[in-house]
Structure formats: structure tokens, C-alpha cells
A and B are shown apart, each in its own frame.
Chain A
Amino acid sequence: MTDESLTCPDVLEKIPLYVGDDLEDLDRADVGLHLSDCASCRRELEEARKARAAFVGHLDRSLEGPSSPSLWPAVRQGLLEEGLLSEPRSVRPSPGPRRLLPLAAAAVLLVALGGVWDWPWQAEDQPGIVDSSALPAVTVAEDLGPVRDPFRASPLLRESSGLRRVGWSDTRLLDAAPGASSEWRLVPEAEVRPALQVNQLAGYR
């Protein structure tokens, strides 16, 4: 298409997109050429620009920045009310590195047990369903030092987390809630899919 093929009506139809730079390159060039030569269409473009400026200028960007309170408490409350999250846990005031120590112990225990046990919850007939009563309990006894915690780097995550995970090949350790007993339940990675089930499982305290 060349500029000669564009009539004033053609150009007027393209102005609403031209004004926001939303035309394809070729169209844009053709319209630009026509406009350089047509005062009537330039006046229409000017009107379109004013209208667009009014629209854009009216848009409310005031939410940018940290001023407005977070939605999270209300979202969380909504999820709790719908039974999609476990109840709030009692959180210790100053969760320190010690919180992770039992996890380390459990992770190590898991390694020790993993090669020996025939995990009962790997039954194929109920994919994704975890029967927590069938899970072995692991007693944490020792301080074995720091373990890998994928959320450790983020203060945001660390701050509110009632749930810690320790990655270990195809298994996960669930529920490291502060104040939990020294009993930990182990769940194979493949079974840890629906968040709801995991939360129910992990929400025993």
C-alpha cells in the first residue's frame, strides 16, 4: 500500500489507533505521509490526541508505591473462611535459626529411611490422595546444622511462614510450624500436589 491509496476517510478511520502508536509500521508510515499533507486530517488527529490525553490523564495510578495496606490479611481471611487454608498457628515471637534445626535432623532421618522403607502411600490406586494416618512419624532428636530452605532468602516468606519445606530428592518434609511437636510427617514429592490436601495434612498443629 502506498500513501496515494489512502483517502481522508481511510486516514480518519486509522487515527484512533495512530494516536496511540498502535498501527502496524506500514499503516503508520502511510498515515504519517497523508497527515503531513492534509490539514483537515491533522485537525482530527489533534482532537484525538486531546481526547486520549484526557483519558490517560484520568487514569488512577495512585496505587503505585507502598502506601496502600496489603490485601493479604483479607485474602488470607477469605481463604480461611472457605476452609482453603489451615487455621492460624501460634507463632513464636522470634523465630530464629533454631527453628530449622529439627528439619535438618528429619531430613537426615529421611535419607536414612528412604532406601529401606517401602512407602505405604505410594499406592497407585489413589493418586494425589494422602492418607496421613499411613505416614510414618519421624522423631527428631538431634541438631544437625542448617538445611536447605528455598524460602530462607526471602524475609517476606520467612516472616509469615507457618510451613517450612525441606527439599530432598523425591520427598518433602512438611509442617515445620513453630510450636509443633517433635513429630514430623514425610510425604513423597509426587503426592504433594493439591494445596488443600497438603494444608490439611500439614495442619495437624
Chain B
Amino acid sequence: MAEIPAQGPGDHELIRAAQAGSEAAFEALVRRHENRALRVARNLVSNPEDARDLAQEAFIRVFKSLERFDFRHEFTTWLYRIVTNLAIDTLRKRRPQVSTAAPEDEEGEWELAVDGELPSEGLEREETVSQVRACIDRLAPHFRTVMVLRELEGLPCTEIARIVGATHVTVRWRLHRGRKLFQDEWSRMQGAGAKPRQHPEARSVRPSETTSRPEEG
């Protein structure tokens, strides 16, 4: 990614200094990583003002928890985790719960945002950008998070697993499922009656045993 290479003290040094009371060190940490936080927030919650508020709140939470920072990890892992958790909270608050979903089937509950009109019913066909946005908005938060961390930040699944607090297998499953759901939505919008010819062997979107849903920890 196009992060500006860190100059001067490393993140861990800045954290130690901030722990010792240096506001300047904390400021340096914020300025070094704010674009990263904003970028992820913006791509998760869409609304720029919300994203900015979210990123600010993330750094305030970082400050509050500075003493508990685990120096075995990178600061960015922690920051991504705080940003994505806040984003998921924001996204979930925004949409009504699906009351029919079985409580234990969290993945099912959040696969697609089912509230509101279908995007194809409310959008102009030529607005591809809006269509894509609508497809992304219909992705459940935990799919969207994994996809943004993978496609935007270019993080490996192992790192994403640390960020979202899930196993590597779960992350890969979410990536698989998220891409598939997005593609289905996008194809549906693109096609709207002229859906591309499906592979004769194509199944429903349920993943096979090779990409079966892992147990959520």
C-alpha cells in the first residue's frame, strides 16, 4: 500500500513514549496512521462524515487502551481491529435486525441486508457506480470487512484473521462467501432480466465441503 514510510521512531517506540505521557508521541502515531484508518472507515461505512467520526473515535479508543497494548503485535493490527469493530457496530445499528434469523446462525443473519427496496428497483441502470455501491451496502458487515481488508489494504488472510479475531479458515470462508454474494448481486443488477448464462453445473450459492463454513469461534 501507499503508506508513507515511517520516519523517526517506530510505532512501538511512539507507543512507549505515549504510555509515558508524551502527547507528541501520540500525535505522531495518529498522523502516521490516520489515512489508513480513514480509508478503511470510508470504505466500510460509505458516508464520509461517519467515516471521519469513526476514525476519530478509533484513535480516542487507542489512547484509552494504550496501557494494554501488546507489544508482540503490530500497532496497525490493533488499529485495524478497532476501526473495523466500530464500523461493524455502525453498520449493524443502521439496519434492522432480521427477526426471523436463528440466533445461532449469525452468518445467515447478516449475509445480505434484506431491508429496504432492492437496488435494481430504485436505481438508474446506467449508474454503475451506484450499483456497485448498492451491492457493497447489501453485504453483511463481516463480509464487507474481510473484503475491504483484503482488496483495499492487500492484507493476507492470516493478518485479517488476527484483526477480526477469527481463524484463518473463517476469514477465507468469509472472503469466498462475500465475493460470491457480491457477484450474485452485481450480476443480478447488471442483468436485470438478461442474467448471464449459468454454468450447467452451477449450484446454489451454498459453499461445498471444500469451502464449508467453519465454526465461528
Contact of B151 among A44, A55, A82, A199 (CB under 8 A): A55
> Known contacts being A7-B201, A59-B43, is A192 close to B21, with CB within 8 Å?
yes
A20 touches B197 (CB 8 A): no
Q: A120 near B: Cβ within 8 Å?
A: no
Interface size on B, residues (CB 8 A): 70
Q: A148 near B: Cβ within 8 Å?
A: no
For the A-B complex, the count of residue pairs with Cβ-Cβ distances under 8 Å equals 202
23 contacts between A and B (CB under 8 A): A10-B208, A20-B151, A20-B175, A43-B199, A52-B179, A55-B179, A58-B129, A58-B132, A59-B152, A68-B38, A70-B34, A71-B55, A72-B31, A75-B30, A75-B60, A75-B63, A76-B23, A151-B25, A153-B8, A174-B21, A193-B20, A195-B19, A198-B21
Q: B39 near A: Cβ within 8 Å?
A: yes
Given A72-B30, A195-B20, output 4 extra A-B contacts at Cβ < 8 Å.
Answer: A55-B147, A58-B136, A79-B63, A151-B17
Closest partner residue, chain B, to A64 (CB atom): B2
Q: B157 near A: Cβ within 8 Å?
A: yes
Contact with A along B1-18 (1 / 0, CB 8 A): 110000111000100011
Question: Could you say which residues of chain A place their CB within 8 Å of the CB of B7?
Answer: 154
Question: Could you say which residues of chain A place their CB within 8 Å of the CB of B19?
Answer: 193-195
B25 touches A8 (CB 8 A): no
A62 CB to nearest chain B CB (Å)? 8
Question: Could you say which residues of chain A place their CB within 8 Å of the CB of B22?
Answer: 151, 157, 161, 163, 165
Give complex CA distance A72, B29 in Å. 10
Q: Which A residues between 30 and 63 are near B, CB-CB below 8 angstroms? A: 40-41, 43-44, 47-48, 51-52, 54-61, 63
Contact of A44 among B30, B176, B202, B210 (CB under 8 A): B202
A17 touches B39 (CB 8 A): no
Q: A133 near B: Cβ within 8 Å?
A: no
| Chain B interface, DSSP helix/strand/loop, else mixed | helix
A44 touches B199 (CB 8 A): yes
B28 touches A71 (CB 8 A): no
Question: Could you say which residues of chain A place their CB within 8 Å of the CB of B135?
Answer: 54-55
Question: Could you say which residues of chain B place their CB within 8 Å of the CB of A68?
Answer: 35, 38
> Known contacts being A17-B211, A52-B179, A78-B60, is A160 close to B23, with CB within 8 Å?
yes
B182 touches A51 (CB 8 A): yes
Question: Could you say which residues of chain B place their CB within 8 Å of the CB of A143?
Answer: none
Question: Could you say which residues of chain B place their CB within 8 Å of the CB of A41?
Answer: 199
Closest partner residue, chain A, to B131 (CB atom): A54
> Known contacts being A55-B147, A61-B39, is A9 close to B208, with CB within 8 Å?
yes
Contact of B39 among A47, A51, A60 (CB under 8 A): A60
Closest partner residue, chain A, to B30 (CB atom): A72
